[in-house]
Homo-oligomer: A and B are copies of this chain.
Amino acid sequence: LGAVQKTVNISTGKLATRICCSQQTASRHLKEIEELGLIRRTITLDGTEVSITDRGFEELVKIYLNLKTTIEGPPSEIVIEGSVFSGFNDGAYYMSRNGYQSQIEESLSFSPYPGTLNIKLNRKNIKAAKELEMLPSILIKGFKKGKRHFGDAKCYPATINDDTEGAVIFIERTHYDDSALQVIAPIYLRSRLDLRDGDKVTIRVSTSRFIPT
């Protein structure tokens, strides 16, 4: 009803008719998905003001992209654009772990520079990133080092700024923020591509490389 773009007013009774259930059930559903953090809800005198949250929107996008690949077929290339930023430098810590390094060498045929390039994404590119994440990936298994647990990682070979071959990497533990992306490469990307914070970067992933046709 447009609650994706703007706040929408609807009574639980009207909603009930639309989704073919009782007023009580419609009311309960709204309450429940609010508790799940998927919508915002304000009760007024003549109905309920409803709008979607970022979490809710992302859930919709997930379902949408899933259907998209099954119906339209997987895209042949995914292009993600974003701007360079400095993270907490935890990427460097992770990439210097031997447990990851050796597996990356084997799967991606390059020895990763000990650090990651952090890319900040806008809404459109978050969607593109999620589309990428949905595709079958090269799995880097997690491992234990003492008490510390290092989670699984997913890799997608990619070309950065149409120049350097590297990979997009989603590390389980650090991948809490959907608006950021991490890129690894055999060399130090910031010097190779002369990148400073805020610079635009284009990441190109050819999906045909790892999708069976």
Contact = CB atoms under 8 A, between A and B. Distances in A.
A11 B142 CA distance: 29
B60 A64 contact: no
B60 A4 contact: no
A67 B64 CA distance: 6
Interface in A56-88: 57, 60-61, 63-64, 67-68, 70-71
A127 B68 CA distance: 12
Interface residues of A, number: 11
Given A60-B70, A67-B67, 7 more contacts: A4-B70, A4-B71, A57-B71, A60-B67, A61-B71, A64-B64, A68-B68
Which 10 A-B residue pairs are closest in the complex by CB-CB distance?
A64-B67, A4-B70, A64-B71, A61-B71, A60-B71, A60-B67, A63-B67, A67-B67, A64-B68, A4-B71
Contacts of A71: 4, 57, 60-61, 64, 127
